[in-house]
């Protein structure tokens, strides 16, 4: 089979590798589409401290179960599945309190073990969620980023009275926007500096006055002008710059919650008194905790529409060009899907 292998930082090849054999409890999936995530670019450039090389990357993918390992129900053969990349031990403190995504011995498919940028991949059967026939493969391929958004909103909670602010209209911001607006139906502002991204935000359901171009307007004034009295009650940092968390803490309304999704290793200069005075909650969110069934249900009901964030489909053998597209032309590229259906 052909796989996208990152041999070492900045060295990637599409190469023939042996077909993997599913272990007990695993299934082998014939991949159809796989989404390129910012974290794949980080692994490629050697900026993910957890990854080991060589590695077949990719943690957002859909495909069809074509072989099963011992102990797996034969009914699963032929199912179209989206794969949750989170594998946990089930015994540590985090797992025992239902927080398996931060398991002490966390294994992430495409990071710690081989992933979905491959014609075939073996995964635990329990991680492979059946996709109903009415959901398109291109939508099912990116259940994972929506599960990230669902996890973040589950961590912060969403109240009907919330006024939300999302920093960043990339994949994370746009998935959050869809969840907040289409699932919860609350007012949600989104800010970015790229007009093309703000255009995607409109397609994802942002009203005209909910879109704030940060290259034109300063945020405090922009919110005041739009009648937000006392600051947003729910803020998500989907960018991850230290200065954004600092601003979010200043802007948040009393009793506000801030969802933190960034991975910056630079410290933020957060003022304790702002946190305490307003009794703010900082809710960090990583990956997702068993959110796939919820997201698949939302897609099935038409509440969220993954296709709005997909900007490109590129044959997986052109993965180098796909990465270049993502990195060199970020304004025009949001979610890029690698297409494995041609062969």
* Cβ atoms of residues 215 and 187 within 8 Å: no
Q: Which is nearer to Mn ion, 141 or 244 (CB)?
A: 141
Could you tell me the smallest distance in angstroms from the CB atom of residue 145 to Mn ion?
Answer: 5
Q: Which is nearer to Mn ion, 37 or 139 (CB)?
A: 37
Q: Which of residues 21-40 bind Mn ion (CB under 5 A)?
A: 37
d(CA 81, CA 75): 13
Could you tell me the smallest distance in angstroms from the CB atom of residue 121 to Mn ion?
Answer: 15
Residues 6+ apart with CB under 8 A from 297: none
Q: Which is nearer to Mn ion, 181 or 335 (CB)?
A: 335
Could you tell me the smallest distance in angstroms from the CB atom of residue 241 to Mn ion?
Answer: 19
Q: Does 43 bind Mn ion (CB under 5 A)?
A: no
Using only the alpha carbons of the chain, give its radius of gyration.
Answer: 20
d(CA 312, CA 196): 14
Could you tell me the smallest distance in angstroms from the CB atom of residue 306 to Mn ion?
Answer: 13
Token pair belonging to 59: 């943690």
Beta strands per DSSP E along 168-247: 187-192, 211-213, 234-237
Using CB under 5 A as the binding criterion, the count of chain residues that bind Mn ion stands at 1
Q: What are phi and psi of 27, to 5 degrees?
A: -125, 155
- Binding characters for Mn ion, 293-332, by CB under 5 A (x = yes): ----------------------------------------
Q: Does 245 bind Mn ion (CB under 5 A)?
A: no
Could you tell me the smallest distance in angstroms from the CB atom of residue 276 to Mn ion?
Answer: 34
Residues 6+ apart with CB under 8 A from 175: 145, 146, 148, 149, 304, 309
Q: Which is nearer to Mn ion, 140 or 223 (CB)?
A: 140
Contact residues toward Mn ion (CB under 5 A) are 37
């Amino acid at each position: 089979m052909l796989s996208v292998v990152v041999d070492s930082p900045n060295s990637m090849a599409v190469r023939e590798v042996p077909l993997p054999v599913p272990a007990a409890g695993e299934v082998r999936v014939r991949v159809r589409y796989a989404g390129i995530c910012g974290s794949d670019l980080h692994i490629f450039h050697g900026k993910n401290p957890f990854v080991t090389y060589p590695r077949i990357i990719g943690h957002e993918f859909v495909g069809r179960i074509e072989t099963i390992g011992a102990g797996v129900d034969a009914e699963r053969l032929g199912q179209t599945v989206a794969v949750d990349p989170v594998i946990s031990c089930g015994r540590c403190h985090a797992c025992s309190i239902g927080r398996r995504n931060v398991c002490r011995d966390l294994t992430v498919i495409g990071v710690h073990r081989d992933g979905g940028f491959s014609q075939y991949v073996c995964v635990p059967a329990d991680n492979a969620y059946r996709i109903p026939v009415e959901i398109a493969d291109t939508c099912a391929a990116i259940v994972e980023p929506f599960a990230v958004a669902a996890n973040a909103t589950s961590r912060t909670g969403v109240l009907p009275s919330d006024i939300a602010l999302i920093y960043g209209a990339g994949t994370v911001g746009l998935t959050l926007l869809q969840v907040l607006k289409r699932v919860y139906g609350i007012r949600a502002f989104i800010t970015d500096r790229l007009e093309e991204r703000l255009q995607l935000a409109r397609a994802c359901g942002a009203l005209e006055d909910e879109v704030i171009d940060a290259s034109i307007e300063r945020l405090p004034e922009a919110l005041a002008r739009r009648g937000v009295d006392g600051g947003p009650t729910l803020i998500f940092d989907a960018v991850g710059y230290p200065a954004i968390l600092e601003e979010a803490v200043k802007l948040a309304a009393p009793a506000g919650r801030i969802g933190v999704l960034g991975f910056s290793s630079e410290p933020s200069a957060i003022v304790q008194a702002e946190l305490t005075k307003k009794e703010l909650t900082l809710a960090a969110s990583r990956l997702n905790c068993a959110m796939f069934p919820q997201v698949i249900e939302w897609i099935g009901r038409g509440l969220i529409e993954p296709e709005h964030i997909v900007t490109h489909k590129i044959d997986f053998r052109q993965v180098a060009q796909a990465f270049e597209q993502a990195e060199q032309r970020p304004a025009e590229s949001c979610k890029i899907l690698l297409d494995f259906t041609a062969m």
